[in-house]
């Protein structure tokens, strides 16, 4: 069952509450993570906790727990949920303040950990590959807030996702202000051409995903050349294969972007191999 921990107290989905004066609610002032649980074991917990604390530090938000303590509470939340395969959503908000924007009026950050289940698409969609379109809404300007900060303000990505939903596609491709390919609404993008795996670099205005880094490591170990480089839509349209990665999505093949079919076989051979290697890794770490 869903389990929620808020500032030292345990709740379920029905009883969990936050203050309407919390600046995470009022202004999106906070950070979060998404973490997977496989067979009762949390996948890459250290990497996710590190990114959560780094994101908080980057926005001047001090988490009043050590990383080890936060990890132990997360593990306890999973245990209490009784879920073998689950999704964890840790959040840190600026905390309760007033209706003004001044963060100095929020004396104590609020810590939240949610353990539940998540499902992105149906099994049929994963087998057939995703249909995507380019969203008119660009990613946020990276000079305003670093994309490396996984903040609670996802409004641009939500607006892009709405464009895709209104058009009847599964997901959207988001560009930066210059028209370069960045990411999906909440996932990283990879393309394959002539046996080479390519993905936008971290400096291109993307969130550097934990699953993205795992896939790069798996591809390198498998002897697949990997290049982190600037991409445009032509690179996506003419790819032999393309796929998305993310904690919730895992690895999802793409079959169409803006009405252009991607490759001739979906999932393509490299996508399929990386998918198998990813789940083999997940199983091995869960069994350790």
229-246 CB burial, b ≥16 within 10 A, e <16: eebebebbbebbbbbbbb
pLDDT at 153: 93
SS3 2: coil
pLDDT at 129: 97
For 160-174, write each residue's pLDDT tens digit: 999 999 999 999 999
pLDDT at 167: 98
d(C-alpha 281, C-alpha 211), whole Å: 12
Average pLDDT value for residue range 229-255: 98
Q: pLDDT class for 239, splitting at 50, 70, 90?
A: very high
| Predicted TM-score (pTM) of this structure | 0.96
What architecture is the 3-116 domain classified under in CATH?
2-Layer Sandwich (3.30)
Domain range summary for the chain, segments of one domain joined by +: 3-116, 123-287
The dihedral sign for the CA sequence 266, 270, 271, 273? positive
pLDDT at 264: 95
Average pLDDT value for residue range 124-149: 91
The CATH class of the 123-287 domain is alpha beta
Of 123, 93, 98, which is closest to residue 110 (Cα–Cα)? 93
Positions marked catalytic: 150
pLDDT at 147: 87
pLDDT at 146: 87
Centre a 10 Å sphere on the Cβ of residue 280 and count the other Cβ atoms it contains: 11
pLDDT at 188: 98
């Amino acid at each position: 069952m869903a389990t929620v921990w808020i500032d030292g107290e345990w709740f379920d989905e029905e009883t969990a509450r936050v203050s309407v004066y919390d600046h995470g609610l009022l202004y999106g002032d906070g950070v979060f993570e998404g973490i997977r649980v496989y067979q009762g074991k949390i996948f890459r917990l250290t990497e996710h906790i590190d990114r959560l604390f780094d994101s908080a530090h980057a926005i001047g938000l001090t988490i009043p727990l050590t990383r080890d303590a936060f990890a132990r509470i997360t593990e306890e939340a999973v245990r209490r949920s009784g879920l073998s395969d689950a999704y964890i959503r840790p959040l840190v908000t600026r905390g309760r303040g007033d209706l003004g924007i001044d963060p100095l009026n929020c004396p104590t950050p609020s810590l939240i950990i949610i353990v539940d289940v998540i499902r992105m698409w149906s099994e049929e969609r994963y087998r057939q590959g995703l249909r995507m379109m380019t969203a008119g809404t660009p990613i946020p300007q990276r000079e305003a807030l670093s994309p490396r900060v996984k903040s609670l303000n996802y409004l641009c990505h939500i607006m892009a996702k709405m464009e895709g939903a209104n058009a009847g596609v599964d997901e959207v491709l988001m560009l930066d202000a210059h028209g370069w390919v960045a990411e999906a609404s909440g996932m990283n993008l990879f393309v394959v051409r002539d046996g080479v795996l390519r993905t936008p670099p971290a400096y291109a205005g993307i969130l550097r995903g934990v699953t993205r880094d795992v896939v790069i490591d798996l591809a390198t170990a498998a002897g697949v050349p990997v290049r982190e480089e600037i991409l445009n839509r032509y690179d996506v349209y003419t790819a032999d294969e393309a796929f998305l990665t993310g904690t919730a999505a895992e690895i999802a093949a793409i079959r169409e972007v803006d009405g252009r079919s991607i490759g001739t076989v979906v999932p393509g051979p490299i996508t399929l191999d990386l998918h198998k290697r990813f789940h083999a890794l997940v199983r091995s770490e869960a069994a350790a």
